[in-house]
Structure 1
């Protein structure tokens, strides 16, 4: 019993020894660290923080020929769904009527059975001959009656006595018969369906042996030689154009900037679009060796503008998302400006010269920490 009590006392004694040793070690480390901090070398200097390096381009104010750019869809001048003008069975389908075929104007596309229309023409020609015979009889009757009254020295009592109403009816019969004959001949001619203009057959809806009725669609034909474009511009852009614009040449480019040719401005202005409230400009394009536009595509139309004085041309990257540009003044301090943008051209922006006397050193890459009046270290870069 006494041995167990002694063992417990010894264990308790060693526990306190280890605790005291740990406390002593902690105090010694703390003192060592405090001594190191107190003896750290701190050198004082009068030099301020390094200035931020800012790249800039030197700009000169000058005159520039304005231009206005807009997107437009290329549309064919003529696009028609050709329909049957008469009824009948289709007895011939030309190779030119197949989808994808290029046809020229007056090319035969379909042939509809002609028999009934040839019969109608023959009947109308006979009716015209009969009407002419009736007119001759009426004229002869009127002539004989008039001579008889003259021979007797008697004044005809009325037009009926001279058979003039019958003469007028006979003359009207001639006009009616001629009109019926013209209509019959037109129907006979309509049995041959031809292309009204040159273009591409985009869809065929009729097959050989099928019976068609009037106004039934047969093919869709799209002009591929002449195109039209419509451009909408704002009032500001309209004022930039060189007026009058009718007859001027506009440059066409693809959306990626590839040259496609030119277009002629047919007309422009005169009214505002009721939805967008913008001016509309109408252009036309004729296919040639130097023009490679396709119907249905989108193109960039570049319209020639007037000369604008006192401008600066800056890269588009110099314009911040908040619509500001940064200049560096003669004291190497940043100046923030809200530019008056005149127009954009590719990756360039043309602005009016800001107010104030300063050297036009433009910060090419504005950074988020720029502040007005901030002192910087300018670095000039080459470029336009």
Structure 2
């Protein structure tokens, strides 16, 4: 009996709950859906005014001294101490002695050869007086001007074939050229600075034994430097020798003015670039410094320049027409690292000047003029 009562109560409760649940569903069905306000994005715009856009080609490179020499010894001997130390960083003026090698032993041999030439000519003077009196005085004057401590003077000009045969037959001409050869080699014991500059490398020190063919160091001219840059072949015809170039250090804190000094006539087959050399002069520059160059390659007429982030796929950009975004085709003519130069955009066209997240053609927008031209 108790069980029947419990089941009856549960049944009544279930019916009541069902009725309440049904009423709740009906009430919710009649509740109106919340209204979602449509969001209109605000975009920055710019009105197009076509004009002349300079195309600047960025490039970078390392400075190298325009004039430099590697110092090698052509003779052997002991490196003598000079007026200035032979050390990196030492400055030398044009004509000053860079390197002096002890040539005392070799100099004695040159003096001996000069003396032998003098004696040979002296020995033929009696024969010249008798057989060639018309040229005797010429050769006597030569002997009078012969100084063993100085470079051997040039032999007198031969007046006739007989004189030539006579002088040559005595071995004077061959002796003369032997002496000149020795004198030429003697001059190689001293190396003079061909220009004013600085020693950047020194591989020997005073007192060292220098051997023939040994590298001694490097000497550069600090008055002018060159920077080698690689330019795309498509812009090679736009660059001219003598064109001014703006150069900056990597920190963009110092600006220099350079000049295109040389343009290679060969295209690198691997990179399709042409090597261009830019000359720059400044007392603060040092060899090995990296600089960035901005080459004025071309003036593009009837064009505009915008950020590369505004260019869409398939060469299109967003424009605003009656507060609605639209897309037009454009013609890119040059890409820089951050910007792109475009042609084919009519004057007066309103374009967006900053990227819009989720933008699409037909999107309703509010405009904010950036006042950019």
TM tier relative to shorter chain? 0.7 to 0.9
**Contact in 2 for aligned 1:138/1:167 (Cα 8 Å):** no
**Contact in 1 for aligned 2:323/2:365 (Cα 8 Å):** no
Structure 1 segment 1-384 matched on structure 2, within 5 A = 30-31=21-22, 33-42=24-33, 49-92=38-81, 95-133=84-122, 136=125, 143=132, 165-170=165-170, 173-241=171-239, 245-268=240-263, 270-288=265-283, 292-319=284-311, 324-329=316-321, 332-342=324-334, 344=336, 348-354=339-345, 359-367=348-356, 369-384=358-373
CA distance in 2, matches of 1:295, 1:104: 18
CA distance change for structure 1 residues 210 and 279 in 2, over 3 Å: closer, same or farther?
closer
Query: Scaled by the length of structure 2, what TM-score is found?
Result: 0.75
Encode CA deviations 1:8-38: one digit per residue, 9 max, x unaligned. xx9x999989998997898588547525522
**Contact in 2 for aligned 1:232/1:280 (Cα 8 Å):** yes
CA distance in 2, matches of 1:22, 1:169: 151
CA distance in 2, matches of 1:299, 1:373: 47
CA distance change for structure 1 residues 102 and 91 in 2, over 3 Å: closer, same or farther?
closer
- SS of 1:96's equivalent in the other structure is coil
CA distance in 1, matches of 2:168, 2:6: 147
CA distance change for structure 1 residues 272 and 248 in 2, over 3 Å: closer, same or farther?
same
- How far off is 1:311 after superposition? 0.9
Which stretch of the first structure deviates more once superposed, 29-38 or 256-265? 29-38
Which stretch of the first structure deviates more once superposed, 66-75 or 24-33? 24-33
- How far off is 1:199 after superposition? 2.8
**Contact in 2 for aligned 1:328/1:362 (Cα 8 Å):** yes
Which stretch of the first structure deviates more once superposed, 81-90 or 370-379? 370-379
**Contact in 2 for aligned 1:260/1:293 (Cα 8 Å):** no
Which structure: larger Rg? 1
Query: Scaled by the length of structure 1, what TM-score is found?
Result: 0.73
- SS of 1:183's equivalent in the other structure is helix
**Contact in 2 for aligned 1:96/1:103 (Cα 8 Å):** no
Match of 2:147 in 1: none
CA distance change for structure 1 residues 141 and 40 in 2, over 3 Å: closer, same or farther?
farther
CA distance in 2, matches of 1:296, 1:19: 97
- SS of 2:302's equivalent in the other structure is strand
**Contact in 2 for aligned 1:66/1:343 (Cα 8 Å):** no
**Contact in 1 for aligned 2:92/2:98 (Cα 8 Å):** no
Over the residues paired in the alignment, what is the CA RMSD in angstroms? 3.9
**Contact in 1 for aligned 2:91/2:197 (Cα 8 Å):** yes
Match of 1:5 in 2: none
CA distance change for structure 1 residues 107 and 326 in 2, over 3 Å: closer, same or farther?
farther
CA distance change for structure 1 residues 320 and 81 in 2, over 3 Å: closer, same or farther?
farther
Encode CA deviations 1:29-50: one digit per residue, 9 max, x unaligned. 85475255224233779x8x33
Match of 1:4 in 2: none
CA distance in 2, matches of 1:259, 1:370: 41
- How far off is 1:348 after superposition? 4.4
- SS of 2:279's equivalent in the other structure is strand
For this pair of structures, how many residues does the alignment match? 345
- How far off is 1:119 after superposition? 0.4
**Contact in 2 for aligned 1:226/1:286 (Cα 8 Å):** yes
CA distance in 2, matches of 1:137, 1:57: 104
Gaps of 5+ in 2: 134-161
Structure with the bigger RCO (C-alpha within 8 Å, sep 6+) is 2
